[in-house]
Structure 1
Amino acid sequence: MTAPVASNPTVLVAGGDRHLGPIVTALTALGARVVLQAQSHEELERAGAVAAAFSGVEVLDTDVRSFRAADHLVAGLAGHGGLDVLLTPPILTSNGPLIELDKTGWRDALTAHQKRAVGLARAAARAFVAQGRGGRVVTFSRSDTFRSRGVEAAAFSAAMLSLTSAIAAPLREHRVTANCLVLGDALAPSPDSPAAKDMVAELVAHLCGPDGEQVNGRFFYASTSDLGLYSVPLAIADPHAMVRFGAAASETPVGELLTPLLNIGKA
């Protein structure tokens, strides 16, 4: 497989949480052209602050709540050489309990987050196939997938794992990779540890860079509480297989940690 992001890739980052600054720093270090999509006042404010600290980072104040809007946004990048990498919207923080769930809150959560993620992934996948040089998708989920305290975030997190799997297997032949970062409770939504934020940013850069071309269909769990880094394939015979590096995750480059992780689940 030829790495699609060997030099000056175009990376579309949808939304952005507190990891946005470190992630943009890591991506620009790869020589990437970064485009930040924002569709709320909070997202626009955060994206603008990050873009102001970097040269060449573009902010698009674009509401993506339909396939048509997603297609239009991705098509607009064609004049800049196309799209190489998509980072889906950040983890969903609204998380009401099931017994208090109302129709409006549920509809808003689906529209603002899941529809945007699926729409952009669909548009990006079509662009990757049409361009013929492959592409990368990195999705974000959270530990609510496995231990939920509420409905909206749990549904969104599980949907991101399913979306990643739906991209990784069918589009492998088109040199498109998809991986998911599952952020632990201590890491989201308010990561206080610089080491943890750097770990997430380094992992994103690794997956988007030339060394990440063989990493596909994985979810990685990262947590600040123990600075652990875990990896499990999205399709695996033994779903309990896991490796924990503990404090080593804060001292060892992510690339070195991934080598043994990627053997998990292989025959």
Structure 2
Amino acid sequence: MSGFSADLLVGKSILVTGAGKGIGRACAILAAQCGARVIAVARTRADLVSLRQLAGQNIEVWEEDVTNESFVQRVRALKELHGLINNVGTNRVAPMLEQADQDLDDVVDINIKSMYRTAKAAAAKMTESGGAIVNMSSQMGFVGSPNRTLYCMSKHAVEGLSKAMAVELAEKHIRVNTVAPTFVLTELTEPMFKNPDFKKFVYDMIPMKSLATTDDVANACVFLLSDLSAMITGTCIKVDGGWTAR
């Protein structure tokens, strides 16, 4: 568990979206290992079944699409909620002049609108008990990059949203932060690194000369959900190996 206490999140109910694969899956597993009651949300039943088998009884699974109103209402119907890892996101990689309007709509709907609605519903459940929200950002929320105008736009929006939420919700004892990974090696990104030019571009930009792992990102998220970060809000942990320090 990377040094975290097994009772770090005991007594806390944590919602993790995009929990079927990659970063979200690692976050759900680590939160459960730290004692939280985890609600893991994903669209694919098989991913949720395997997650439940792997992580045990601390995880409740929801087969839901976060862009649907039914999901938002389900969050609002929870009896209590102490934490959210708002992890769902998408990307459309192409030169700006070739991006289709549908690509714009897809990225805005998933990366911005659904994140806002999920955070709003979660915050409404935290107003009495307080809580912590982690919105998944990216190093691309701080820099620009070729062929990623839509993604950079959406992640800059995540950073602005999170700062505004942090200021507005502070008096309700709700903390809001972001985690901003560099490229993370997953089943989805692994084929990208078979392109030697792309691999060289990425590694040349990271001073530490390595990619992040899903556990690296999960560690940052769980820290921000825990009381270890009780005075931290409105900021970002960049898990980027130094990319944005250049």
TM-score range, shorter chain: 0.7 to 0.9
Which region of structure 1 is more displaced relative to structure 2, 175-184 or 210-219? 210-219
Q: Which residue of the partner structure matches residue 94 of structure 1?
A: 92
What SS does the aligned partner of 1:77 have?
coil
Q: How does 1:56-205 map to 2 (within 5 A)?
A: 56=57, 57-65=59-67, 68-78=69-79, 82-129=80-127, 132-145=128-141, 146-149=143-146, 150-185=148-183, 190=189, 196-205=213-222
- Higher fraction of helix: 2
CA distance in 1, matches of 2:97, 2:166: 35
What SS does the aligned partner of 1:169 have?
helix
Counting matched residue pairs gives 216
Q: Which residue of the partner structure matches residue 22 of structure 1?
A: 26
What SS does the aligned partner of 2:15 have?
strand
Post-superposition Cα deviations, 1:61-120, rounded to whole Å, max 9, x if no partner, equal: 222325x43531212322xxx111111124433233211111122112222332211101
Q: Which residue of the partner structure matches residue 9 of structure 1?
A: 12
Contact 2:40 2:62 in 1 (8 A): yes
- When normalised by structure 2's length, the TM-score is 0.76
Cα 1:69–1:140 shift into 2, 3 Å: same
Give the root-mean-square deviation of aligned CA atoms: 2.8
Q: Counterpart of 1:142 in structure 2: which amino acid?
A: S
Q: Structure 2, unaligned stretches of length 5 or more?
A: 1-7, 194-209
Cα 1:199–1:112 shift into 2, 3 Å: closer
Contact 2:81 2:122 in 1 (8 A): yes
CA distance in 1, matches of 2:149, 2:243: 26
CA distance in 2, matches of 1:197, 1:108: 24
CA distance in 2, matches of 1:195, 1:185: 6
Shift, 1:195, TM fit:
7.3
Post-superposition Cα deviations, 1:163-216, rounded to whole Å, max 9, x if no partner, equal: 211211111111000110111135686489797433322221111112122111
Q: Counterpart of 2:55 in structure 1: which amino acid?
A: F
Q: Counterpart of 1:179 in structure 2: which amino acid?
A: N
Cα 1:90–1:112 shift into 2, 3 Å: closer
Q: Which residue of the partner structure matches residue 38 of structure 2?
A: 34
Q: Which residue of the partner structure matches residue 206 of structure 2?
A: none
Cα 1:21–1:186 shift into 2, 3 Å: closer
CA distance in 1, matches of 2:133, 2:39: 14
Shift, 1:229, TM fit:
9.9
- When normalised by structure 1's length, the TM-score is 0.71
Identity %: 21
Q: Which residue of the partner structure matches residue 219 of structure 1?
A: 236
Contact 2:67 2:109 in 1 (8 A): yes
Contact 1:220 1:229 in 2 (8 A): no
Contact 1:87 1:137 in 2 (8 A): yes
